[in-house]
Amino acid sequence: MRHRKHNHQLGVKTAHRTSMLANLSCSLIENGRIKTTLARARALRPTIEKIITLAKKAHLAQDSAKKIHYRRLAISRLRSKSATKKLFDELVEQFSKREGGYTRIYKLALPRLGDASEMALIEFVEEPASKKKKKKAKKSSSKPDKEKTETEPAASEPEGKEAESSETNESESSESEATADQETESSDTTEQSGEEETDTNETDSAEEDAVAEVADEDQVPHEEPSTDSEEDSKESK
């Protein structure tokens, strides 16, 4: 009986299946991503992740004998020394901070031509592991929530009225300020015009006085010196 035997059969015998998974694992290690059927990708995931766990144990081990032991176990499963060397020497560092979930599977939309089997991509996860923050659930009864929802609209109504009254007061004050500014501007303009008129009148009167003085000087006759009378008076003396 096959009770509790949940391994992937893939429609082939055991020897064929182990060889196929070993070849798929080597291709994934060498290329980082491969395209295969969805059933084979799902069967490959636990196999390659167990081999990556062996590489992590060898990387953390301090005893050289244990490192060699884990490396030999990986070679027996992968059946390729070059793929094992790349995994244990190069790729193990990117999985050192992850606790599982080393691979990712993408389902492809188009099936395979011929048998229309579902296709998928399987690749290594290269992003560092991020710690998810646990959200603390707040336990609260439903009655206080209902009371809050009922009181919120009642409290919002007077706030809206106060806001409207404040807006009207602000508009009235702004209008009164605008009218006062206009009155002050008009008074300033009238004062400036009055000052200009007085200045023009003063300048006109000053010009008229100057013209009158010039005219008076022209009307006064110039007395010529009497040279003859002075000479006669000198001779008589």
Does residue 68 surpass a pLDDT of 80? yes
Does residue 56 surpass a pLDDT of 50? yes
Which residue has tokens 């013209």? 211
Residue 85 CA to residue 78 CA, distance in Å, equals 11
Q: What CATH superfamily is the domain 14-124?
A: Ribosomal protein L17 (3.90.1030.10)
What pLDDT sits at residue 237?
Answer: 43
In 187-216, which positions are buried (b, 16+ CB within 10 angstroms) versus exposed (e)? eeeeeeeeeeeeeeeeeeeeeeeeeeeeee
Give the model confidence (pLDDT) of 115-148 as tens digits.
Answer: 999 999 999 998 766 655 555 555 555 555 555 5
Domain parsing of the chain, residue ranges: 14-124, 177-219
Residue 179 CA to residue 1 CA, distance in Å, equals 101
Whole-structure pTM value: 0.54
The angle formed by the CA atoms of residues 18, 24 and 30, to the nearest 5 degrees, is 135
Give the model confidence (pLDDT) of 151-203 as tens digits.
Answer: 555 555 555 555 566 666 666 666 666 666 676 666 566 556 555 555 565 66
